[in-house]
Chains A and B, each alone.
Chain A
Amino acid sequence: MKTITFSQATLEAMQEEMRRDERVFVLGEDIVRQGGIFGQFKGLPDEFGSRIIDTPISETAIVGASVGAALAGMRPVADMHFADFVGVCFDEIYNQMAKIYYMFGGQKPVSMVLRAPDGLVNQAAAQHSQSVEAFFLHIPGLKVVIPSNPADAKGLLKSAIRDDNPVLYFEHKQLFPVKGEVPEGEHLVPIGKAKVVKEGKDVTLVSWSMTMNLAIKAAQTLEKEGISVELIDLRTVSPLDKETILSSVEKTSRLAIAHEAVKQGGVGAEISAIVAEEALDCLDAPIVRVGAPFTPVPFARSLEQAYRITPEKIAAGIRGMM
């Protein structure tokens, strides 16, 4: 094991996969001179030269051209700068990238990765702070991964690049500088597999991305109060790993979900529906979802703090179930 940052972990994944497969290349804004807006691509231009391409501010063309290049045999990794900008190229994502393989009878997969830094950071306000993974849960044909720590960041990115399907890779902006242990050598994390981070017996708490780290803190607090929490890191939003969640709920009889995105229509709603459909009999308490209020992300410190999910909010939600 070695200890590196989330950002370095993604960089290692890129280096290893670009060395392994010449078809992998990068398209995005401010990558060559800046190494990406969060420095997550630093050094790649030195090693890979013309395979790292700075684009105009043209998100529609970044994704559209990646789809086209994938159809012509390349394996692009496109960078969205901020996940909020997916709105600009939504058609290229949901009508083209996601559908081409199915709609054309499986003639050619769209083997590409779209990386999108998401989440709250430094009071960046309404258009630079959002968590938008739920939009993509509703689109058949896409895979959506969302790591919470450096090891998964590396393993999921490598798997995403090797996957023949289009994969959206959400990376939380607050996680880039966070350090963690990453296995030495080849390290792949399977897409579509959630991870039981800690076993527990009273309640299942499902979370992902940055919020997973808050969920871990909440679980520690609850543990001291005698509530034993089973923690699940979802890691992949689509395809969603029902089995891991259902078997945990069968054991604990309670389900809580915590995410940074707006609660209404969030991924937590889908997980709740699955458990209600398939394991309602197991539940000893109503499901609890902890998510952001139904407002855009506000700017002022007082409002952003009120908006934010915290370990306290997660713990309070779970106490109410016991």
Chain B
Amino acid sequence: MCAMPERKEAVLPLTGYDREALKFFYETMVKIRNFELTVEKYFFEGEIPGFVHLYIGEEAIATGVMANLRKSDYIQSTHRGHGHTIAKGADLKHMMAELFGKSTGCCKGKGGSMHIADFSVGMLGANGIVGGGFTMATGAALAQKMQKTDGVSVAFFGDGASNRGTFHEAANMAAVWKLPVIFLCENNQWASTTPYLTTTSVADIADRAQGYGMPGVIVDGNDVFAVYEAAKDLIDRARRGEGPCILECKTYRIKGHFVGDPEMYRTKKEVQQVLEETDPIPRFEKKVLDAGVMTREELDSIAARVNKELNEALEYARTSPEPEVSALFEGLYV
């Protein structure tokens, strides 16, 4: 059943897409992009502290996957977690406040960018430990199975994280117990300063699916339609109780590894070229406009609405108070 990974492209005609889905795609991708650009700006202005990793260029993945999820489904995110959090439906105000280290943040200012979570929408946490999410997503899926729901759990991970031992343990356990886990690889070619091929035994992480007896699928991660359709098949399959899978989305990290990364390991030209050729947002615009399923005015009004929401979130974050010192000792035990 599990031969070489399948490479899939978007096949549904755009006219077959529900209008709400199209709006969700655009709104979510633009929201993530502009959120990240705002975060970058305020990091450089010294208002956002800590380590911050941006999701710019990878928006189509979180968007296409999350379009198939319910609020009650779970995701485990990574250090590069803002996009996942937004797409899963977290409130921008509380997210932004968390990044600013304010008491109104979704983690009360205790976590920050690398440790952001919003359990109210099934977002079980970003992670400062690369590869920390695989096993916990597997456990969440075990609970979903024991509770006899048809919920699924998605473990997002990078190409670099695929080399952690936790990947193997989680994949085997999920496969042998037929758990509803989607191992969702965002292969953005880089693990910090290291091109992934210099540290990874296979060019396609999805190849590894064979070794666990699960399907592996590869898609263009910068095409939201391709991600959506492939994720839909695999998520539906998991909901039916047919077990886990690996979905590998090929993409590229447009920004530095973290905000402030001097990026000595690649040229600006390389990055610019990839951006021009593959940026998921202009690609989406072109597709929907060419197919006549959305108009320029519609797109612009969605973007305007997003920017308004974002400005409100920013204002909220900047004017919120820092946590009181007494909060240091609150919330250690229940």
Binding site for B on A (CB under 8 A): 29-30, 33-34, 37, 54-61, 84-85, 87-88, 122-128, 293-296, 298-303, 306-307
Contacts and interface: CB of A to CB of B under 8 A. Distances in A.
Contact of A299 (B101, B160, B324): B101
A122 B200 CA distance: 31
B191 A57 contact: yes
B143 to A, nearest CB: 24
Interface residues of B, number: 41
Contact of B322 (A56, A59, A124, A302): A302
A300 B264 contact: no
Contact of A33 (B164, B165, B264): B264
Contact of B112 (A29, A125, A307): A125
6 contacts: A30-B194, A57-B130, A57-B161, A123-B50, A125-B115, A300-B105
Contacts of B129: 84-85, 87-88, 127
Specify the main secondary structure of chain B where it touches its partner.
Answer: loop
B221 interface: no
Contact of A300 (B101, B193, B200): B101
Interface stretch (B64-72, B223-231, B309-317, B325-333): B325-333
Contact of B115 (A61, A126, A307): A126
A34 B264 contact: yes
B199 A56 contact: yes
A56 B160 contact: yes
B121 to A, nearest CB: 21
A299 B332 contact: no
Contacts of B292: none
A125 B50 contact: yes
Interface in B147-163: 160-161, 163
B165 A58 contact: yes
Contacts of B200: 56
Interface in B172-215: 191-194, 198-200
A54 B192 CA distance: 12
Contacts of B164: 57-60, 88
Given A55-B199, A60-B165, A302-B323, A294 B332 contact: yes
A298 to B, nearest CB: 5
A228 B197 CA distance: 59
B316 to A, nearest CB: 16
Contacts of B323: 298, 300, 302-303
A33 to B, nearest CB: 4
A302 B112 contact: no
B237 interface: no
Task: Pick the 8 closest A-B CB pairs, nearest first.
Answer: A127-B128, A300-B109, A56-B163, A299-B112, A300-B101, A56-B199, A123-B49, A302-B322
B101 A126 contact: no
A303 B109 CA distance: 9
A29 B192 contact: yes
Contact of A307 (B101, B105, B328): B328
Given A34-B193, A34-B265, A54-B194, A125 B128 contact: yes
A60 B169 CA distance: 13
A125 B115 CA distance: 8
Nearest to A127: B128
B102 interface: yes
A30 B328 contact: no
Contacts of B191: 29, 56-57
A33 B128 contact: no
